[in-house]
Amino acid sequence: MSLRQRAKELDAADPLAHLRTQFAIPAGKVYLDGNSLGPLAHPVRERMQQVLAEQWGEDLIESWNKHSWIDLPQRSAARLAHLLGTQADQVLCCDSISVNLFKVLTSALELQHRTEPTRNVVLSTQDNFPTDLYMVQGVSEFLGQHACQLQLVEEEQLLASLSEEIAVVLVTEVNFRSGRRLDIEKLCQHAHQLGILVIVDLAHSAGSVAVELERWQVDFAVGCTYKYLNGGPGAPAFLYCAKRHLEQNLKQPLQGWMGHAEPFAFTPDYVPAEGIQRFLSGTPSILAMTAVDAALDLFAGVDMQQLHQKALAVADFFAEALENSRWATEFTRLTPTQHSERGSQLSYSHPHAYAICQALIARGVIADFRAPSYLRLGFTPLYLGFEDIVNAFEALDQVLSNAEHLDPKWQKLQGKVT
């Protein structure tokens, strides 16, 4: 049976296939970059238009109450909670990952310093997403090394590097470059035995893998909504704090009026709101969060195990096509093969990765490049089917057969690579 015929059969048997009609994927394109920026969904466009016209446009400031804008961060959080294996009272939708990381990191350090002021190490991985490391460096420069000291190890060394000097371990569950997934439950077990708090970055997990924050006993987490959750460019991120910590009169330094117990009392002294609400700082972006909220509707009723299984199947379908082709030896696969050890992307190293990526984009296959030499493909099964993969693979085959990637115009990195 041909690859395309097999793909057609797999698509016909796919219980999630109907979801793709919800998305505005431009005709003729195969979108393999949903792990960087999710596409626009039709219900998101409709809700945005409605909020602009009927709420902001007509009801103006009354909308804060009339349309419950004031509760939107918590309402969006409730939808997120179901994707993260937790409850709404432990999740908040706000700010960016970077800012949320600042809040939970300083919170976690303060919590540790109450009983052990000398625990100062924040352990992370060499290959963590840079903004995560920059935030730790910033906190460290600001509070001093005695309060916060960053230590970096390879992912493989994480468990062996845990010790009683470590206050916090900060990891990204699914590595943005390699697509490797860490065993967070095991990490939490080992860390907690040594009194270490665990912060997990879920940027490449939320909406991609079945996250189980409570079952894994994660202490704090952050994540974004513009990748797998399709909330739109720069959409507000989220943060998670376990209830057991919230109940300890937790502090965070970005004390804004929206995190105050009574924001509209306008009193000069800060009194934190009860629970997770205290992690809010300033006024939420209602328009941006409207898009997130509408995009999360698409996950209602979707089983995350099933969704991830499909992502793995689609990715395997691509990998198999590549591995059975005459191009197999040119690519070095970075992503583990074991299903339990990966998220929903595949990364390959190739000396011409950048040029291949550009040539693919010219053919309507939107892939992604990561320095220095990685071709990164996101398999986002809400809107990708098996036949898309055949189209993507055929485009790759054409690019390489015609040596399109050797065109001089793609030999130099151009513009901003995002």
Ligand X SMILES: *Cc1c(COP(=O)(O)O)cnc(C)c1O
Where on the chain is the footprint of ligand X (CB under 6 A)?
96-98, 129, 131-132, 172, 176, 201, 203-204, 224, 237
**132 assigned ligand-binding residue:** yes
Q: Indicate if 354 belongs to the active site.
A: no
**257 assigned ligand-binding residue:** yes
Please identify, using beta-carbon distances, which residue of 59 and 127 lies nearer to ligand X.
127
- Smallest distance from the beta carbon of 9 to ligand X, in angstroms? 34
- Smallest distance from the beta carbon of 343 to ligand X, in angstroms? 11
Q: 95, 201, 293, 388: which one is catalytic?
A: 201
CA dist 23 and 389 (Å) reads 17
Distance of CA 154 to CAs 124, 160, 171, 311, Å?
A: 8, 10, 11, 27
Q: Indicate if 129 belongs to the active site.
A: yes
Distance of CA 249 to CAs 52, 196, 212, 259, 298, Å?
A: 38, 19, 24, 13, 35
Q: What is the dihedral of CA 330, 335, 338, 342, to 10 degrees?
A: -150
Q: 227, 310, 363, 370: which one is catalytic?
A: 227
Nearest to 204 by CA among 358, 49, 20, 342: 342
**317 assigned ligand-binding residue:** no
Q: Indicate if 240 belongs to the active site.
A: no
- Smallest distance from the beta carbon of 171 to ligand X, in angstroms? 10
Q: Indicate if 142 belongs to the active site.
A: no
The token pair that represents 164 in the structure block: 């009683």
Q: Which residues, 6 or more positions from 200, have their beta carbon under 8 angstroms from its beta carbon?
A: 171, 172, 173, 184, 213, 218, 220, 221, 222
Which phi and psi angles does 240 have, rounded to 5°?
-130, 140
Q: 177, 310, 363, 376: which one is catalytic?
A: 376
Please identify, using beta-carbon distances, which residue of 92 and 203 lies nearer to ligand X.
203
Please identify, using beta-carbon distances, which residue of 224 and 312 lies nearer to ligand X.
224
CA dist 90 and 74 (Å) reads 10
Q: 220, 226, 238, 318: which one is catalytic?
A: 226
Q: Indicate if 66 belongs to the active site.
A: no
**267 assigned ligand-binding residue:** no
- Smallest distance from the beta carbon of 87 to ligand X, in angstroms? 23
Give the 3-state secondary structure of residue 37. coil
**204 assigned ligand-binding residue:** yes
**Catalytic center residues:** 129, 201, 226-227, 376
